[in-house]
């Protein structure tokens, strides 16, 4: 069933516009409380947020809505998204709510939910919340109002969980690590995790002011981390995003290690330990170099639509353990229930400890294929352009030119009126030329449709 408010990862937008307003979020808290509280007097829902300034506003609105619906509320304060998932599960809450726009700038914010198991809400529950949103808001009697309190030891609980995802015997003494927290929700957590495991940590992006989240730091701006790793002579760098569910790394040479390379390192680590199960799950955007590198070790790559939601669905359905995206959403399903930047980084550090190899040595067996992505604005239905015989002929010709050594992918954007043209292959010049040719065909078909 089509949903009016929820997208693939909650509800997100610019603060003060659309659905990201205090009055809507108040009603959303009430509607969610009605569905998730289930009429239980002992029900509780956790609320956590990242560091953007509007988090205070929406935390108060959600709290008021939940309390009005008779649901107890536990406030976590600034907390990474995966930490909220973990605490929802271990504190036996009915649900967890995250106030965050992830890697977006401070002008944006969003609301997403976790079930009591620490998973994303099923579609039918989101649909039920939307149905409640269409009803007039009411307030339970005073005796039935929910109670609100703060969880004072939330950060400490999550730090201990992160450390528990690697063997207790591991000591990272001697490792020099730059940790970039994107001025986001991990600023008071990630440096402590790695320091308590013995590493020498050089933290950056740990001075949030409500407006600087993801600004020229974090996983979306890894150049800052690259410079710092080289300047410090560090062994490696770790970049997280604003809500802590993405991970990008930098090796000691200053080379970027994206989500595909991290997946390769983790897959081989699990294989060596006899723990690999099934295939690695990537997306349509996962680099062909990852697929070929895994194949050399008899590990398959299964692709889904873009989005960690779809990766998790495939992992759960097949009972596999490892998946992720080039952007750094890495899911270690044998360790936790959602993408977690800190936990994923710990798995890489554990392999460095176990193997005695550097990060550069660990990802050396995988080469990224040149990839060109061009966005073409469309008027009207993108699918019509993509199904046009002229477009199909052009794609067929491009695939023929690549001769089995590359990929062509055209897909409509899920958030903008764009067709994304992606070409991958062994030769960078050929890839760029083919991508431009296909983009020109798309532009021509778009122009031909205009009145």
d(Cα 323, Cα 332) in Å, to the nearest integer? 7
End-to-end CA distance of the chain: 33
Question: What pLDDT digit, counting tens, does each position of 410-435 carry?
Answer: 988 766 788 999 999 999 999 999 99
Query: Please, what sign has the CA dihedral across residues 23, 42, 185, 260?
Result: negative
The active-site residue, picked from 43, 54, 100, 102, is 102
Q: Assess contact for 285 and 422: CB atoms under 8 A.
A: yes
3-state secondary structure of 421: strand
* Domain 158-363: which CATH number of 3.40.710.10, 2.40.50.140, 3.40.47.10, 3.40.120.10: 3.40.120.10
Q: Would you state the pLDDT for residue 2?
A: 64
Asked, colleague to colleague, whether 11-152 and 371-449 share their fold, the answer is: no
Is pTM beyond 0.75 here? Answer: yes
Q: Please tell me the distance from the alpha carbon of residue 361 to that of residue 306, in angstroms, as a whole number.
A: 29
- What pLDDT shows up at residue 39? 62
Q: What is the mean pLDDT of the chain?
A: 94
The answer to whether 355 is a known catalytic residue is: no
Cα-Cα-Cα-Cα torsion 264, 231, 246, 109, nearest 10 degrees, comes to -160
Write down the pLDDT at residue 256.
97
- pLDDT for 102 equals 92
Residues of the chain with pLDDT under 50: none
DSSP 8-state class, residue 94: S
Domain 371-449 has CATH 3.40.50.720: no
> Could you tell me the two tokens for 105?
């700038």
List pLDDT tens digits, range 390-402.
999 999 999 999 9
Structural domain boundaries in the chain: 11-152, 158-363, 371-449
Instruction: Specify the CATH number of the domain 11-152.
Output: 3.40.120.10
What is the rounded CA–CA span in Å between residue 161 and residue 148?
25
């Amino acid at each position: 069933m089509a949903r009016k408010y929820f997208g693939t990862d909650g509800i997100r937008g610019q603060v003060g516009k659309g659905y990201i307003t205090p009055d809507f979020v108040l009603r959303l808290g009430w509607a969610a409380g009605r569905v998730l509280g289930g009429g239980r007097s002992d029900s509780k829902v956790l609320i956590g947020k990242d560091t953007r300034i509007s988090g205070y506003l929406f935390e108060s609105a959600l709290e008021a809505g939940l309390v009005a619906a008779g649901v107890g509320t536990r406030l976590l304060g600034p907390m990474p998204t995966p930490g909220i998932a973990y605490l929802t599960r271990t504190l036996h809450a009915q649900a967890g709510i995250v106030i965050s726009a992830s890697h977006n700038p401070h002008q944006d914010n969003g609301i997403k939910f976790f079930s009591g198991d620490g998973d994303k809400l099923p579609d039918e529950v989101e649909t039920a919340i939307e149905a409640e949103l269409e009803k007039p808001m009411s307030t339970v009697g005073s005796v039935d109002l929910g109670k609100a309190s703060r969880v004072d030891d939330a950060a400490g609980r999550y730090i201990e969980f992160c450390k528990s995802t690697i063997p207790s015997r591991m000591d990272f003494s001697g490792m020099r690590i730059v940790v970039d927290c994107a001025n986001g929700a991990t600023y008071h957590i990630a440096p402590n995790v790695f320091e308590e495991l013995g590493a020498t940590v050089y933290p950056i992006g740990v001075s949030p002011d409500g407006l600087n989240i993801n600004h020229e730091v974090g996983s979306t701006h890894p150049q800052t981390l690259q410079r710092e790793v080289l300047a410090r002579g560090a062994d490696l760098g770790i970049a997280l995003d604003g809500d802590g569910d993405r991970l990008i790394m930098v090796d000691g040479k200053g080379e970027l290690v994206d989500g595909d390379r991290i997946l390769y390192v983790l897959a081989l680590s699990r294989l060596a330990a006899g723990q690999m199960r099934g295939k690695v799950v990537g997306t349509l955007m996962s680099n062909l170099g990852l697929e070929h590198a895994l194949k050399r070790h008899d590990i398959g790559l299964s692709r889904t639509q873009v989005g960690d939601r779809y990766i998790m669905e495939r992992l759960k359905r097949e009972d596999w353990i490892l998946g992720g995206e080039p952007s750094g959403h890495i899911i270690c399903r044998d360790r936790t229930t959602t993408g977690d930047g800190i936990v994923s980084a710990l798995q890489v550090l554990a392999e460095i400890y176990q193997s005695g190899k550097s990060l550069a040595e660990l990802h050396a067996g995988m080469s990224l294929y040149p990839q060109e992505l061009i966005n073409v604005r469309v008027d009207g239905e993108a699918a019509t352009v993509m199904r046009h015989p002229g477009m199909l002929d052009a794609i067929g010709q491009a695939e023929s030119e690549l001769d089995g050594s590359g990929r062509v992918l055209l897909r409509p954007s899920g958030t903008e009126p764009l067709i994304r043209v992606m070409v991958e292959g062994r030769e960078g010049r050929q890839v760029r030329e083919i991508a431009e040719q296909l983009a020109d065909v798309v532009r021509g078909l778009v122009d031909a449709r205009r009145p």
